[in-house]
Amino acid sequence: MTSGSGSTASTSTPALRLGVGGAVLAFVMLCAVWLFQPPYRPTDEASHLAYARELSHGRLPTIDSPISDDGDARLARLLRSRDAVHRTIWTANHPPLYYALAAVPLRIAEATGHPIRGLAAARLLSVGLSALGLVVLAWTVLQVVPGRPQLAVAATGLTALLPSFINVSAVVYNDSLAFLTSTCALAASVALVVRGPSATRLAAVTAAVGLAALTRASGLLVAGVAGLAVFLAVWRAGQGTVRRRLLRACGWVSALVLALVAAAGWFYLRNRMLYGDLTGSAALLERFGRVPHGGVLELLGAPGFWRSQQQRLWGVTTLLPGSGGRLSRQLWLLGLVPLAGLLVAGIRWLRRLPDGGWRPDPGRTVAVALCLPLLGLLELSLTQFVSQGGGAHVRYLFPGLVAVGLAAAVGLAALPGGRWGLPTMAMLAAMSLANLWVRWRYLGIIGGTAKSSLLLVVVPLLLLGLGLQAFALWRLRPGAAPPLPEHRVRRDGTGREMSVNTSRQPLTPGSRRVGPG
């Protein structure tokens, strides 16, 4: 979880781990309500499950493959109520990695005669993948701002309690793995830019990008950002003529591209052959009779389009029918609070510039710049999909949640009391209450013992998670503990990489400031 090692991090690391652990605990508890969710309630879940079941039998389906109930009476009843186009595995245009993972619990459940238990296990798998992604998100933020571990806790907590993220992560959708693999690719890219290029770091970027591309088509956008990171990292660390540096950087990028094509190219070529395009989206839009909604620029310039996205991002009623209300439709206004903080932070920074104030480290500036283009590319992709007639599913932006979480954390930290984490805790408390309120209403609809389970199990552990985050935010406030050591890569006279500790904290006896990278 730290960006380096040493005694300077000893007082910060335990609080950091507690804070991130508290965020993950709160996330898992709010996802737990899906244990009481009737099977196949989300429209797409049956198709995703059928894809995984086909893989469990060694078959790779197409969008025309029929959904088999495999002895599941509930699924059979659901299929009888659907039209023909919704009785097939229309999600088969997605790469197979997530479904290969979900196939394991589904095959075990099928073999033991309990298909519904396989569904529950697959949902838990999705929760676990998103929870692991939150840990990687914290690590990524820590690489960008190692001197502010408080921001890593805040970014993780704010992302973990995002209502749409909770709702989607707790069903059998591939978005949980897409979030994990894309965040891993971004983390590896950030480490490459901040610490400098090496064969090990290039291998990490390549592996993560390959997994992201094998999960969703958004992984191709992640690959583009990772390729830019590789080029910039190698270029900055290069020596010699411009031509030599350019050839070396292009060589590293070419290695990444070749590995990506070898890992995932076969599936996208299959889509091209079967459906006419790499993602298969055009065939699906035609299949479901979708009509264009206007041009991309037209949508981007429409305030209603952006407001709709914010409402979906904060949509605690997503996939929870009948549990909403007037208040839940206005929760997106909470997003204006960190936005106001970002404006305050920007004004403060601009005021310090003439006085020679804080100047960002170039490597970490590039790292932050990588997070923003990824979110921008995802937004453009979503807008194009909507313009062609597709749905404005905000979950398509989840691979870019690092930028969202970090921006929100920086904004809240800039508000009055931000040093102590007070605005962040107020936001976390508001988000928790909103999630609990809507889930309470929903559990009242489906009945049973769900409400008592929510009160006896979920709420106490949720409060524990919030308490751990509050403690970490207070303990990690600026100036309360030595910052985590920062490491930058430099080269000595022989060209060998040297990892330099640039922390302002004094080194303890027996530690060294410069050592081999």
Q: Where are the domains of the chain?
A: 7-475
Backbone phi and psi for residue 514, each to the nearest 5 degrees, phi listed first: -125, 135
pLDDT in tens, 246-290: 999 999 999 999 999 999 999 999 999 999 999 999 999 999 888
Which comes out higher in pLDDT, residue 486 or 407? 407
> Crossing angle for the helix pair 97-111 and 45-56, nearest 10 degrees?
80
Residue 6 has pLDDT above 50, yes or no: no
Q: Can you tell me which residue has the tokens 């090990």?
A: 200
Q: What does the DSSP assignment read for 104-119?
A: HHHHHHHHTT-HHHHH
d(CA 209, CA 229) in angstroms, rounded, equals 12
Name the nearest CA neighbour of 90 among 263, 232, 284, 265.
Answer: 284
Q: What is the structure's pLDDT at 37?
A: 74
Backbone phi and psi for residue 443, each to the nearest 5 degrees, phi listed first: -65, -30
CA distances from 103 to 50, 56, 132, 214, 489 (A): 9, 5, 19, 15, 43
CA distances from 264 to 245, 268, 271, 273, 312 (A): 29, 7, 11, 15, 31
Give 132-137's long-range contacts (Cβ < 8 A, gap of 24+): 132/180, 133/176, 133/179, 133/180, 133/183, 133/184, 134/20, 134/23, 134/24, 134/27, 134/159, 134/160, 135/1, 135/20, 135/24, 136/180, 136/183, 136/184, 136/187, 137/183, 137/401, 137/402, 137/405
pLDDT in tens, 22-44: 999 999 999 987 776 778 878 89
H or E stretch at 202: helix 199-213
Q: What is the structure's pLDDT at 365?
A: 83
Which comes out higher in pLDDT, residue 5 or 130? 130
Q: What is the structure's pLDDT at 205?
A: 97
d(CA 76, CA 70) in angstroms, rounded, equals 9
Q: What does the DSSP assignment read for 75-143?
A: HHHHHHTS-GGGSB-GGGGS-SHHHHHHHHHHHHHHHTT-HHHHHHHHHHHHHHHHHHHHHHHHHHHHH
How many residues make up the chain in this entry?
517
Mean pLDDT of 118-146: 95
Which comes out higher in pLDDT, residue 158 or 307? 158
pLDDT in tens, 79-121: 999 999 899 999 999 999 999 999 999 999 988 888 888 999 9
- Using the Cα atoms of residue 116, residue 118, residue 121 and residue 123 in order, give the sign of their dihedral: negative
Name the nearest CA neighbour of 410 among 345, 482, 327, 478.
Answer: 345
CB count, 10 Å around CB of 100? 15
Name the nearest CA neighbour of 375 among 392, 390, 360, 396.
Answer: 396
pLDDT in tens, 192-204: 999 999 999 999 9
d(CA 262, CA 264) in angstroms, rounded, equals 6
Name the nearest CA neighbour of 143 among 185, 191, 184.
Answer: 191
d(CA 367, CA 233) in angstroms, rounded, equals 10
Backbone phi and psi for residue 485, each to the nearest 5 degrees, phi listed first: -65, 140
CA distances from 163 to 183, 194, 230, 492 (A): 19, 32, 34, 49
